[in-house]
Structure 1
Amino acid sequence: MKALAMAGLLLALLCLPAAAFASGTLHYPARDGEASPADALIVHGALDPPYVRPLLEAFHARHPDIALTYRNLDTLTLYRRFLSRPGEADLLMSSAMPWQYRLANDGHARPLDSAAAEAWPGWARWRRELFAFTFEPVVMVMRRELIERFGRPDSHADLLALLERHGDALRGRVVTYDPERSGAGYSYAIEEARRSPRYWDLVAAFGEAEAALAATTGEMLEGLAEGEYWLGYNLLGSYAQGAVASNPALSMVIPDDYALVTRRLAMIPREAPHPSHARRFLDFLIGEAGQRLIATRTPLGAVHPDLDGPGTAAAMRAAHGEALRPIALGPGLLATLDDLKRQALLARWRREYSRGGEAP
């Protein structure tokens, strides 16, 4: 029932008419339609409109005199656009944790001095400049045909065994991220190589099965929904949840041995043109009201320490315990952006994939 409710919720979000939506932009005009340049707020985010819309609408209802503009960008476009125009946006939100951390570490973030910032969990912020406001496990998604024929893999060990035993039968039926084309895929590859001694065996098994390599979770979900693929690996769980809830042929698995957890990070740029409004929005985003919306009206996972019901980090931890392994918010993220380390990891990834099959 919860899955069906979430599917209905996501469909409703897609149909909401309150804001104009074109070319990845949502705009909420000021109440009188003629806000002064000072009464504006510009948010750049790597978060699809159905998921961010409830937050934008609630904030605008509280502050109707502020003209609110949201631009939806992919993670690397957001990062590069900011570097070329650092005074354009008032707030940045992105799931590309290493790139957001680099911006803050390089002095581009303005601190938030508020009660909400002071109370925010230490594991979910860096100083008072970078705030994790979601909690999103990285998951596997599989079709009913795979489960009926081979059983359901509930761990990385199960998945490796499945690929080693039935790689021929699954040839071309598996999909995962291409770490060369996807920032998320690259980040997950680095984390798994650190955490799992058998990660490279898994990459070789993907090669043996001639796994397709995708750039986005959406691309993987589309192929799974159409039956092109039977198993997808390392999808973003928040996006996968809605697709699975609305399609009985699909099943989502949070691996029970370990599951990476990514967080979306928000920051106020030092050159934000409307810093006071940006502070209001970030306070709302990490405050109890905004976090309750995240828990109840999106699948993103609320972080607020006082919330513990469905749709919260606390509930996910209670259900999955030590299997959840959040990607640490700290200096280690910078290592993922080192050019030599990146080249070395990608070279090994291609080599191990080729060891199992043909080079991608």
Structure 2
Amino acid sequence: MTPPRNHRLVALLAGILLSSLSLGVMAQARLHYPALHDGPTQDGRANSRLVIHAALDTPLIAPLLEDFQRRNPDIEIDYRNLSTLAVYRTFLDGRDDQRADVVMSSAMPWQYRLANDGYAQPLDSAAARAWPAWARWRHELFAITFEPVVIVYRRDVAEHFGAIDSHADLLERLERHAEALRGRVVTYDPAASGAGYSYAIEEARLSPRYWELVAALGRVDAALVGTTREMLEGLATGRYWIGYNLLGSYAREFAREHPELEIVVPEDYALVTHRLAFVARDARHPHAARRFLDYLLSEHGQRAIGELTPLGTIHPALHGPGSANALRERLGDALRPIDIGPGLLATLDDLKREALLSRWTREFQRAAQPADTPAAPPSETSP
């Protein structure tokens, strides 16, 4: 599979943007599960192999792979955990020794580009046909998780400044308590983070007060970082008190060990991102690949996602914590899943990116503290 020249150019230009879409610190790792049967299974099927490339840390995916293999003991599994950029580049390189059967990534625009350019094959199964139309593109590209973008703050913030339940609350706190919060707020740097940039594009479209919020962040000298991990670790140590636009699935996992943190799915509007998966058009093990994707879309597989990982589920039959149904019942139309469609390609447009980042920087710096009156570095204490 030889990638067209324009794909090589896109991959080159997208480097900085894509490299931060994951949590960061995500070195390449592998998981390997030999088939549980040495010979043919009871129904006569010969052993098969499945190669998965994904941007999902091995501790999160391992329980799902083990559950899938218990149900499919004839399949040997080779899982490679890569950065989102490496998932994209490795797929387009198309080397036989690195070719994936299934590709999964949270880099929604790049997954959509691959499917739109003909690199995915359709999945014709009952689960695929029943999958919600808003959570797929044709029958080739499927959202398998439901992951809100959240606000996280230290619980004692509510005692001093009031609880934060929405973007409007956050804006009010930043404007009213600017001095007290100076240096204590953290968010994505949209110029260095693909996630931060993607969220900025969506929020600029959704909220008429988005640019006021960006200005308020500048006014409190908000720290700009590249990953959700950096935000969570800073919140846990007390360096930061409020974090804006964190990936909710990772925040949920982190908060299990840090009960001092409060996670808020904003009630006025909440972006929702997805991990998108497809079976490669030229998969060397298409039967095993289709079985795995079908598993991820099945009620059982989705229940495993909900019970074994912090990743939210989409299946219409599920209503447990973190599921799309549970969040919709609580927040209704305030949930704004990022659409799986041509609009995703806009995030790859260089001119659009430059225009949005220029305005973001202008609004943030316009309200920032003057350079001749620097704020004192924050101490590692609670509010």
Normalised TM-score (structure 1): 0.89
- Partner residue of 1:24? 29
What's the C-alpha RMSD, in Å, of the aligned pairs? 2.1
- Partner residue of 2:122? 111
User: Secondary structure of the residue that 2:348 maps to in structure 1?
Assistant: coil
Contact 2:37/2:47 (8 A) holds in 1: no
Q: Is 1:157 the counterpart of 2:168 in the alignment?
A: yes
Unaligned runs of 5+ in 2: 1-26, 41-45, 372-383
User: Secondary structure of the residue that 1:42 maps to in structure 2?
Assistant: strand
- Partner residue of 1:6? none
Contact 1:38/1:274 (8 A) holds in 2: no
Match of residue 41, structure 1, among 47, 50, 55: 50
User: Secondary structure of the residue that 1:152 maps to in structure 2?
Assistant: coil
Report how far residue 55 of structure 1 moved. 1.1
- Partner residue of 1:329? 340
- Give, as a single letter, the amino acid of the residue that structure 1 aligns with 2:111: Q
In 1, Cα distance between equivalents of 2:222 and 2:336? 25
Give runs of aligned pairs for residues 126-275 of structure 1, distance below 5 A.
Answer: 126-275=137-286
Deviations 1:83-110 (A, max 9, x none): 2237611111111111111111111111
Match of residue 309, structure 1, among 315, 320, 325: 320
Deviations 1:179-234 (A, max 9, x none): 12211111100000001111111111111111111211111111111111101101
Report how far residue 245 of structure 1 moved. 2.9
Match of residue 66, structure 1, among 75, 80, 104: 75
Contact 2:174/2:216 (8 A) holds in 1: yes
- Give, as a single letter, the amino acid of the residue that structure 1 aligns with 2:157: L
In 2, Cα distance between equivalents of 1:56 and 1:235? 26
Larger CA deviation: 129-138 vs 269-278: 269-278
Report how far residue 136 of structure 1 moved. 0.9
- Partner residue of 1:83? 92
Contact 1:296/1:310 (8 A) holds in 2: no
- Give, as a single letter, the amino acid of the residue that structure 2 aligns with 1:273: R
Contact 2:35/2:47 (8 A) holds in 1: no
In 2, Cα distance between equivalents of 1:344 and 1:304? 37
Report how far residue 331 of structure 1 moved. 1.1
In 2, Cα distance between equivalents of 1:38 and 1:296? 29
Contact 1:172/1:209 (8 A) holds in 2: yes
In 2, Cα distance between equivalents of 1:264 and 1:359? 41
Report how far residue 256 of structure 1 moved. 0.9
Contact 1:217/1:236 (8 A) holds in 2: yes
Report how far residue 63 of structure 1 moved. 2.0
Match of residue 124, structure 1, among 122, 125, 135: 135
Report how far residue 169 of structure 1 moved. 1.4
Q: Which has the larger radius of gyration?
A: 2
Report how far residue 279 of structure 1 moved. 0.5
In 1, Cα distance between equivalents of 2:69 and 2:165? 42
Contact 1:90/1:275 (8 A) holds in 2: yes
User: Secondary structure of the residue that 2:278 maps to in structure 1?
Assistant: strand
In 1, Cα distance between equivalents of 2:192 and 2:266? 24
Contact 1:138/1:261 (8 A) holds in 2: yes
Deviations 1:101-133 (A, max 9, x none): 111111111111111111111111100110011
In 2, Cα distance between equivalents of 1:244 and 1:75? 24
In 1, Cα distance between equivalents of 2:156 and 2:321? 30
Deviations 1:241-275 (A, max 9, x none): 12223222110111110000111110112122211
In 1, Cα distance between equivalents of 2:261 and 2:175? 23
In 2, Cα distance between equivalents of 1:171 and 1:74? 33
Over the matched positions of the two proteins, sequence identity in percent amounts to 64
- Give, as a single letter, the amino acid of the residue that structure 2 aligns with 1:81: T
| Residues 310 and 146 of structure 1, relative CA distance in 2, 3 Å threshold | closer
| Residues 33 and 343 of structure 1, relative CA distance in 2, 3 Å threshold | farther
Unaligned runs of 5+ in 1: 1-21
Normalised TM-score (structure 2): 0.84
In 2, Cα distance between equivalents of 1:98 and 1:294? 23
Q: Is 1:289 the counterpart of 2:300 in the alignment?
A: yes
- Partner residue of 1:17? none
Q: Is 1:357 the counterpart of 2:368 in the alignment?
A: yes
Report how far residue 34 of structure 1 moved. 9.6
| Residues 160 and 86 of structure 1, relative CA distance in 2, 3 Å threshold | farther
In 2, Cα distance between equivalents of 1:198 and 1:263? 25
